[in-house]
Structure 1
Amino acid sequence: MLETITGIIVTLVMTVLWGWASLIVTMLPTSKNNQRLKSRKTLLVWVSCIAFVVDLIWCLLVVSQFVRYGWFFVEGIIKVIVPVMLIGHLPVAMYVLPKLRGIQPAQQESISVDTLAKVSHPAMVIPFYAAAITSVMNVSSHIFAQPVMPSMYELVQLPFLLLLILFIPFLFLKRKYQAVRRGEFVQQKRGRELLRFGLMSVITASIVITVMVVQVLAGTQSSKLPEASDMMNHHWIDEGGGVPTMLSHHQNHGNQSNMVEVAALTGDIFAPADSKFELVAQWKEVTLASGAKIDAWTYNGEIAPEIRVRQGDIVEVKLMNKDIDKGVTIHWHGYNVPNAMDGVPGMTQNVVKPGQSFTYKFQAKQAGTYWFHSHQQAAEQVVKGLFGSLIVDPRSETEAYEQEFTVMNHRWDTDQGKKTAIGYEDQAQWKQIQSGKKVKLRIINTHNQSQKYLLQGTDYQITSIDGVPIQDPDRLSDRTAFRLGSGGRYDVTFTMPDRPVLFKIGDYQDDKKPSIIFYSDAPPANPSFQAESDMFDPSQYGKPAKNEITPAAEFDREFKMILGNRMGFYNGQIHFLWTINGEVYPHTPTFVVKQGERVKTTFVNKSLAEHPMHLHGHHMTVLRKNGKQVMTPWLTDTLNVMPGETYEVAFVADNPGMWMDHCHNLDHAATGMVLHLMYDHVRPSYEVGTKSGNLPD
C-alpha cells in the first residue's frame, strides 16, 4: 500500500515537472531578447534535470518492488509503462538537452533567426510534450488501470495513443517553425503564442476526449454480461502447465461421451437422513438490542439461525423461498459438499424463486465451525441477513468444553446507521461463568471486511482455523490480538479465571462495536483492559498440518492469480473493478484440473485492498508467504491476502465438479473478482444470466 501511494505521488510530481518544462520550451521563441532566452533556457535545463531525478526515483521504486515482491508485481509496469516512458523521456536526455546546451545566444539584444529556428524546431519541442504525456499515462496506470500480464493490444495501445496525441502539436509546431524560417514569426506577440498553445491544447484534448468517448461507448456495450452463459470462459482455458486435459481434448474433437454433468454430482441422496431442517427465506423487520431496526432478509425470520449436527450424520436441509423476489440459495461456506449441493445459482443449481424449494443433502464428514449463506447476488443478500451458522460436533469429543458460544458478527444497515452486532447484540454483553470452567468461542466473521478481535484478561489458544484443528496450539497472551478475513472462522478456547475477561471486536476502547465481558462472581463495576501489543500469525503457530501437501511436494498443475484493480466498465456501468490476471468475470480464466492431481496456486495482491480468497469445495494448505516457506503450514478455505502480499497454497483435486474461486469481500466478487475451477471430465448443467435469473456473486 505504501509503495502504491508513494508511486502515485512520485508520478504526479513527475507530471507537473514535465508539464512545466513543456510550457517553458513552448515559450522560448517568444523571448523578447537574448538575455530572456538565456534565462528561460537555464530554467528549462534545471526543471528537466529535476524531472529526471524524479524519473530515477520512480525507477528505483519499480526496482525495489521487484526485489521485495517479485516479478509478478512489476511485470505489467516493465512491459507496458517502462517502454512508453523510455519513448517519451530518452529523446529529451539524449538529443534535446545536448542540443539545448549547444545553443548560445549572441551578445546583441535581438535574437537571430537561426537561434529562433533552433528553439522552435519540432524536434526540440515535441520530446518535452512526449515526456509530459507519458508521465500522465504513468499516473493513470497507477490510479486507474494497472497493467497485469499485458496482451499484445496493451503493449501497443499506449505508444499508438502517444503518436495520435502528438500529431496535432506537431502540425502547429511545424507551421510555426516554417514561419520562423521565413522571418514571419513575431517574437513580441507573447499573448498570441499563448493563445496558439491553448488552441493546440484544446484540439489535442478534443482528440483525447473523442478517443475516451469511443472507449466509453465500446466499454459500455462490451462489458454487458450475457443473458445466458454456462459460467466457463471457453476462450481462456488455463491448464496450469500440466498435461493436456480431457476438457481441451473434447473442445478440439467434440467427444462428450466421458463427461459427467454437474447436476449428477449429488453424492448419496438416497441414504436416510439423520438430521432434517427446514429454512424459509423471508423478509422480516428485525430489532437489535439497542432498538435499531433492520429491514432484513432472513432464514426462518431469525438473525443467524444455527444448524447443529454430529460428524458422520446425513444432513437434509429443505430451503423454501417465501417472498425474496430475486430468489435464494444456500452455500455451505467451507464445507466440502458434493458439487451439486454447493448452492451456487447457475453453476450447481437453479435459483430458488418465491414459492419454490430445494433440498440439500450431504454427509457431515468435517467437524468444526462453518456457516452458510445465499450465493444469489450475495453482495446484497448476505449483507441483508441471509446467513446462519453450521456447527458440526466431532463424533468423539477429545476435549470437553463446559461453556460454548457461537460468536457470529455482522455489520448491518439499520434505521440508526451502520451497526456491528454479535447476533442481536450490538452493545456490551455480560455473561457469568464459574472460574475454572473451559470455554470455547466459535468466531465467524460475516462482514465484507476483515475484523480485529481481542480476548483480554486471560491467556488463550486458537484451536481451529476454518474448521480444521490446529496441532498442539500454543498459548497466546491476552495482549495478542487476532484478525479474521471475511468468511473466516477461528475457534478460541480459554479457562475462565477469577477475574473479568473481555472479548471485543476492534480496539478495546471502541464503544461503537460490541463486546462480551465474562465474569465469575459479580459483574465488575469498572473493568480495565489494555491495548494489544502483538498480532496473531497462523504461519508461526502450533505444528504443521499433516497431509500429503508439503512445500517439497511436486505439483501437477500450477496457477497464478494476480489480484488487481482498475477503473472500467462492468455490465454496462462504470465501476472501480477488482481483477484477476487483469480481467473481470466472465473474462477471467477457467482453471482446469484432473481428479487426484496436486494443484498449487499463487496469490499475488497488487491491488489497493485486502482480498479474502475463498475456494469452494476444497481446503487449501498454505505453504509460502512473500516467497518464504511458512514455519507451520495450515489449512484454510478463506485466505486473507493483504496488499503487497503473495501466498502459495496447494490442494488435492479430490472433489469433482465446477467450483467458484473468488474474493469473499462480496462487493469485489460482484464487480468481477471471480473465476472457476473446473475438473476436466465435468460439464455444466445450468446457465447464469437474466434469462434464467441465476445471478451469483
Structure 2
Amino acid sequence: MIWLLVHMASTILLAIFSGIAAWNVSRTYRATTKGKLYSRLRSSLIWMGISGLVFIVKVTAVVVLAASGWVFAEDKLAMQLPMLAIPAAAIVLFSIPATRAIRAAAVKASKEPPTAQERLAAAAPGWVFPVLISFVASLAAVVQALFIAQWPLQIGTVIAVWSVYVAVVYLLWIRQKSRYHRLVATGSPETGTLAVRVFRKLGVLLTVVLVSAVWFMLGAQSSRLAERMSMADHMHAHMHAHTDGISPQFVSVAELTGPRTGTPDRSFTLEAKKTMIALHSGEIKEAWTYNGQILGPELRVKQGELVEVTLINKDIEDGVTIHWHGVNVQNAEDGVAGMTQDAVMPQEKYVYRFIAEQTGTYWYHSHQQSSKQVQMGLYGVFIVEPDTTLPQKTADMAVVLHNWQAENGTTVSLGELNRLQRKIAEPGTLVRLRFVNAENLTAQIHISGVPFQVEAIDGTDILEPEDLIDSRLDLAAGGRYDVTFVMPDTVVGISRQTGPFAHDGNVLVVSPSNEGMPPDAVKGPIFDPASYGTPAQTMFGPDTRYDRNYTLVFDNRPGFYNGKFNFVHTINGSVFPDAPMFMVREGELVKMTFVNRGFDDHPMHPHGHRMQVLSRNGKAVTGSPWITDTLNVAPGETYEVAFIADNPGIWMDHCHNLEHAAVGMSAHIAYEGVYSPFEMGSATVNLPPE
C-alpha cells in the first residue's frame, strides 16, 4: 500500500514540478534583462532537478511494485515510464548542459536587455523541447493513472495512448520550431499585441472548457444504465466464449429453489417497515426494520432443519428482499432483486425455503439497493446450531457491529444501540461471542481481561484454535468471527477502540454480576487467520489442477457510473454491468486471484460459495484451513482462493463495502446453462445498485 501511494504521489508531483520547469523554460527567452534571463535559467535548473528526483522516486516505486507482481506495474512499464524516460534522457543530455552554458555566459545582475544571440540560445528547440515533452509525458502519466485502470492491458489501449502522445509531441515540436524561426526572422520575442495575446489565451481556455464539457456530458450519458436490463443477456455474451461448442440445456434461476413442499421445522415472519428510533446523539431518526427491531430478530435454527421465512413489506416504497449472507442456499432463495427474484413491494410478501445445512454464524439483509437499506437497518443475525446438545453452562451471544449516520455525527454500535451493555455469565461458563460486521469498513475488536480463542471464521470452525491475549481482531465488512473463552471471576470487556472503557455503544461488558469495569483495552498484535490453528488436508493443495483460473484486479479511479461522476471502484477495469462474468460448470474446481491495485479495502463476497484461502501475497496459508465467504483484500495485497462449483445458478461476486458495490464494483459467477428471467433498471421494481 505504501508504494502504491508513493507511486501515485510521485506521479502527481512530477506533473506539477515538470509543469513549473516547462513554464520557466518556455518563457526564458522573453526575459527583459540579462539578470532576469539568468534568474529564469537558474530556476529552470532547480525545477528540472526536483523533477528528476521525483522521477527517480517514481521509478523506484514501479520497480518495487513489479517485484510484488507484474499486474501492479504492467501499465506503468508499458506506457508511463517509457514516455517519461525519453524526455528525461534528453534533458540530461541536452537541456541541462545547454542551460548551464547559456547561464555561464549571462550577466547575473545586469539590467541590460539580452542580446539577439542570447535570446536565440534561450529559445533553441534543442534545449527547450525536452522539458516541454517531459511535462506532456507527466500529464499523460496522470491521465493514465487516474482514468485507465484496465486489466489485462490491451494492446489497442497501449497503441491509442502512445498515438496521442506522439501526435501531441509532433504538434509541440512544430509549434516550438515556428516560434524559434519567428524569433530569428524578427529578432523580437513578442508575438502580437497584448490584446492578441490575451485573446489567444482565452481561446485556448475556452477550447479546454468546451472539450471538457463535451467529454463530461458524453461520459455521463454513456454510463447511464438501461431502464431495463437482463443479466441473462450479459451472461450469454460471456458464455459463448467458454462453452467449447457444447450447447447446454438452459434452466431458469427461478427453478433452482429450496424444497417447495413439506412442513417446515422452523417458520419465521419478517415484516419490513419504517420505525422511528432514538440515537445516542439525541436525534430521532427513521429506520427501516424487520419487525420494528434494531437489529432485526435473531433467527436460530438447527442443522438439517427445513427453514421457512415469510417476508412481508409493509411500507418500504422501493421494495425489499432477504439475502442470506454466507448461507449457501439454492439460487432462487438468494434474495438478489433483479437476479434471483423481483423485489417485494409494499403490501406484498415472498416466501424463502431452504435446508440449513451449514452450522455457524451468518446474517441476513436486504439486497435491493443494499448500500442504502442495510444502513437504514434492514439486517439481522441468522445462526445455525449443530444438532447436538450444548454444554449446560454456555452463554451464546451475537454481537453485531453497525454505524448509524446522523445529522450531528455517527453513532457507533456494538450489539445493542446507544449504550454500554452488560451481560452476566457465571465463572466457569463457556462464553461464545458471535461477532457480525454489518458495516462497510473493516471493524476493530479488542477483548480484554481474559485469554480467548477464535473458534470459527464465517461459520467454519478453526481446527485446534490457540489462546490469544489482547490480540486485535480486524473483521472484514460482512464477515463474522466466533470468539470463545471461559468466564473468569473478573470482568471481561469488548471494545471498538483501545483505552479505558467508555459508557457508550462502543462497549460490551461481561461479568459475574451486573457491576465492575474491565481492564483497559490495549493495542495488541493483529490476529492473523493465515497462521492460526492446526493445518489439515483439504481438496485444494499445491498440486491441484483447476478447471478455471480467474484473476480479479481491483482499481479505483474518477469516472462515471449511471450518469453521475464519482470515484468508481472497478474489477478488471470495468464496473457493472460491464464487469466480468466468470463462467463455470457444475463440479469444476475454480481458482481466483484477487489483486488490489487501489487505495481502499475490498471485502470480496461471492454469493452461494465458500472460498478456501490458499495464499496471501505469495505466501501459503500455514494454519487451519481458512474458509471464508467474505475476504478483505487490502491495498497492495494479492490473495489466491479456490472453491468447487457445486451450487448452480447466477451469483453475485461483489465488494461488501456496499458503497463500492453501489458505484459498480459487482461481478457475477454464472453456471453454464443457467439464465435469469428477471430484469432490473429504473423501469422495473428491481433497482440497480445505488
- Pair 1:282-2:277 in alignment: no
1:220-244 CA-to-partner distances (Å, cap 9, x unmatched) read 11100111122257499668xxx96
- Pair 1:149-2:148 in alignment: no
- Pair 1:337-2:329 in alignment: yes
Consecutive unaligned residues in structure 2, runs of 5 or more: none
Aligned residue number for residue 73 of structure 1:
72
Contact 1:278 1:317 in 2 (8 A): yes
SS in 2 for 1:535: coil
Aligned residue number for residue 363 of structure 2:
371
Aligned residue number for residue 58 of structure 2:
58
Q: Does the C-alpha gap of structure 1 residues 522 and 685 become closer, same or farther in structure 2, counting only changes over 3 Å?
A: closer
CA RMSD of aligned residues (A): 3.0
Q: Does the C-alpha gap of structure 1 residues 128 and 379 become closer, same or farther in structure 2, counting only changes over 3 Å?
A: same
1:261-305 CA-to-partner distances (Å, cap 9, x unmatched) read 111111332233111111111111134578653311111111221
Contact 2:604 2:631 in 1 (8 A): yes
1:160-179 equivalences under 5 Å are 160-162=163-165, 173-179=176-182
Amino acid at match of 2:622: M
- Pair 1:410-2:402 in alignment: yes
SS in 1 for 2:230: coil
Aligned residue number for residue 47 of structure 2:
47
Distance 2:88 2:196 in 1: 25
1:344-402 CA-to-partner distances (Å, cap 9, x unmatched) read 11111111111211111110000111110000000000100111111111012476652
Distance 2:106 2:87 in 1: 34
- Pair 1:639-2:631 in alignment: yes
Q: Does the C-alpha gap of structure 1 residues 237 and 63 become closer, same or farther in structure 2, counting only changes over 3 Å?
A: farther
Aligned residue number for residue 529 of structure 2:
538
Consecutive unaligned residues in structure 1, runs of 5 or more: none
Distance 1:522 1:503 in 2: 15
Q: Does the C-alpha gap of structure 1 residues 610 and 196 become closer, same or farther in structure 2, counting only changes over 3 Å?
A: farther
SS in 2 for 1:576: strand
Distance 1:35 1:292 in 2: 66
Amino acid at match of 2:650: M
Query: Percent of pairs identical after alignment?
Result: 36
1:497-527 CA-to-partner distances (Å, cap 9, x unmatched) read 0111101123344745421112224612x54
Amino acid at match of 1:497: P
1:471-518 CA-to-partner distances (Å, cap 9, x unmatched) read 1111111x1110111111111111110111101123344745421112
- Pair 1:451-2:425 in alignment: no
2:682 equivalent among 647, 665, 690 = 690
Instruction: Give the alignment's TM-score, normalised by structure 2.
Output: 0.91
Amino acid at match of 2:70: W
1:601 equivalent among 589, 592, 595 = 592
Aligned residue number for residue 19 of structure 1:
19
- Pair 1:226-2:229 in alignment: no
Q: Cα distance, 1:431 vs. partner? A: 2.2
Distance 1:306 1:432 in 2: 19
Distance 2:17 2:232 in 1: 47
Aligned residue number for residue 569 of structure 2:
578
Contact 2:497 2:521 in 1 (8 A): no
1:199-230 CA-to-partner distances (Å, cap 9, x unmatched) read 76654444443332222111111100111122
Instruction: Give the alignment's TM-score, normalised by structure 1.
Output: 0.90
SS in 2 for 1:534: coil
Distance 1:107 1:648 in 2: 62
Distance 1:130 1:342 in 2: 55
Aligned residue number for residue 625 of structure 1:
616
1:303-339 CA-to-partner distances (Å, cap 9, x unmatched) read 2211111100011111111111101111000000001
Q: Cα distance, 1:165 vs. partner? A: 5.5
1:380 equivalent among 369, 372, 381 = 372
SS in 2 for 1:543: coil
Amino acid at match of 1:79: A
Contact 1:565 1:579 in 2 (8 A): yes
Aligned residue number for residue 473 of structure 2:
482
SS in 2 for 1:125: helix
Q: Cα distance, 1:416 vs. partner? A: 5.4
Which stretch of structure 1 is more off in the superposition, 153-162 or 553-562?
153-162
Distance 1:147 1:131 in 2: 24
Q: Does the C-alpha gap of structure 1 residues 588 and 515 become closer, same or farther in structure 2, counting only changes over 3 Å?
A: same
1:418-477 CA-to-partner distances (Å, cap 9, x unmatched) read 212244332212222211111111111101111101111010111111011111111111
Distance 1:310 1:128 in 2: 72
Aligned residue number for residue 4 of structure 2:
4
Contact 1:84 1:158 in 2 (8 A): no
Q: Does the C-alpha gap of structure 1 residues 208 and 509 become closer, same or farther in structure 2, counting only changes over 3 Å?
A: farther
Distance 1:160 1:96 in 2: 25
Q: Cα distance, 1:130 vs. partner? A: 2.0
Contact 2:251 2:673 in 1 (8 A): yes
Aligned residue number for residue 216 of structure 1:
216
Distance 1:63 1:160 in 2: 25
Contact 1:7 1:142 in 2 (8 A): no
Which stretch of structure 1 is more off in the superposition, 389-398 or 567-576?
389-398
Amino acid at match of 2:585: K
Contact 2:492 2:511 in 1 (8 A): yes
Q: Cα distance, 1:174 vs. partner? A: 4.2
Distance 1:132 1:393 in 2: 64
1:321 equivalent among 307, 313, 323 = 313
Amino acid at match of 2:420: A
Which stretch of structure 1 is more off in the superposition, 403-412 or 36-45?
36-45
Distance 2:392 2:311 in 1: 33
Distance 2:685 2:285 in 1: 26
Which stretch of structure 1 is more off in the superposition, 106-115 or 304-313?
106-115
Aligned residue number for residue 297 of structure 1:
288
Aligned residue number for residue 549 of structure 1:
540
Contact 2:552 2:592 in 1 (8 A): yes
Distance 2:126 2:172 in 1: 12
Amino acid at match of 1:585: F
Contact 2:569 2:665 in 1 (8 A): yes
